[in-house]
Amino acid sequence: MKRFFLFALLALHLGDALAAIDLNGVAVGDPVRWKTSMERRDTTTVIVFKATIDEGWHIYSVKLPDGGPMPTSIKLLDTESIRPIGALQEVGDAVREHDEVFNMEITMFGDSVQFVQPVLLLSKNLKTVRAQAQYQTCRTGQCNYFDTDLIVDIPEQLLPIDKIADKVPTPVPEPEEAPSPSEQTEPSAEDGLWAFLLISFFAGLAGSLTPCVFPMIPMTVSFFLGKKNRTNALLNAILFGL
């Protein structure tokens, strides 16, 4: 029984080794080299995953019919700090041809291709973002599957705007608008009458203190008080007042 398990384990490792060797007996590594960047395009922040492919090899599009080879996919791992917006886009010289093995039209890329993912940054403290690319590489008589971990550096100027909120001056509150004329309280007629009477009284009092009027006051009083008949004095005073 122990020999059986040892044989099975050896066969498993031998299968992995053969999968990494092409038909010519040469060990095969990943023919795709990745370069990542984050940039701003118009008003959207995007991550660009650029794949450079060795000569003779190709990788497949992100959109393939069911039942065909494995389409390329890139998954963001830090979903609490970054969110993908929309589908993964591909930019490059695509080759579309009929595949005899799968008996369908297949879209593939050789040489190089860019996979672009629009994103929304949710944290102001991000420095890097982790992603994982899954893809199939093929050439004549050889296909391999790869899972590659990718790291994306985040430029500081692309972080959310609240990172520099402490540098933005506090807005000054706008002054309150003055009430419209319709909202202002109009004085009543009674208030206007009392004001007129007070002004008239003080104006008359001030007028009696003028040089031409004030000396006449003692003379007038003496004139009426000097009358022998009090009734005549009162009548003359009333007539004089009118």
DSSP 169-203: PPPPPPPPPPPPTTTSPPPPHHHHHHHHHHHHHHH
Query: Is residue 171, in this structure, part of any structural domain at all?
Result: no
Total number of domains constituting the chain: 2
Contact 124, 112 (CB under 8 A): no
Tell me: do 148 and 88 sit in the same domain: yes
pLDDT in tens, 169-215: 455 566 666 555 555 555 566 667 777 778 877 777 766 666 665 55
Model pLDDT for residues 106-146, shown as the tens digit of each residue: 999 999 999 999 999 998 888 999 999 999 999 988 999 99
Residues 123 and 36 reside in one and the same domain: yes
Give me 169's structure tokens. 């001056």
Please provide the average confidence, as pLDDT, over all residues in the chain: 77
CA angle 34, 39, 41 (to 5 degrees): 120
- Residues 148 and 146: their CA atoms lie apart, in Å, by 6
Same domain, 103 and 213: no
Tell me which residue has tokens 């004329």: 181
* Domain match, 140 and 215 both: no
Picking from 156, 142, 120, the residue whose alpha carbon sits closest to that of residue 18 is 142
Residues in the chain, total: 242
CATH of the domain at 77: 2.60.40.1250
User: By residue range, what is the domain housing residue 40?
Assistant: 29-164
In terms of domains, do 210 and 157 share one?
no
Is residue 82 in some structural domain?
A: yes
At position 110, the amino acid (one-letter code) is G
pTM higher than 0.85 for the full model? no
Tens of pLDDT, residues 49-77: 999 999 999 999 999 999 999 999 999 99
* Domain boundary residue, one of 142, 164, 186: 164
Could you tell me if 102 and 152 lie in one domain? yes
Q: 186 lies in a domain?
A: no
What distances in angstroms separate CA 222 from CA 202, 214, 225, 231, 233, one per listed residue?
Answer: 25, 14, 5, 16, 11
95 and 139, same structural domain?
yes
**Cα–Cα distance, 88 to 96 (Å, whole number):** 19
Note whether residue 14 is domain-resident: no
| Partners of residue 149 on adjacent β-strands | 132
Boundary (domain end) residue, out of 111, 145, 164: 164
Burial class (CB in 10 A: 0-12, 13-18, 19+), 119: buried
- 142 & 228 share domain: no
- Domain assignment present for residue 179? The answer is no
Task: Report the SS3 class of residue 114.
Answer: strand
Cβ neighbours of 235 (radius 10 Å): 13
Q: Does residue 81 sit within a domain? A: yes
* 156: its two tokens: 């500081």
In a domain, 157, yes or no: yes
Indicate if 56 and 139 belong to the same structural domain: yes
Residues 103 and 211 in one domain: no
Residue labelled with tokens 């009083």: 221
Residue 215 counted as domain residue: yes
- Residue that terminates a domain, selected from 146, 164, 182: 164
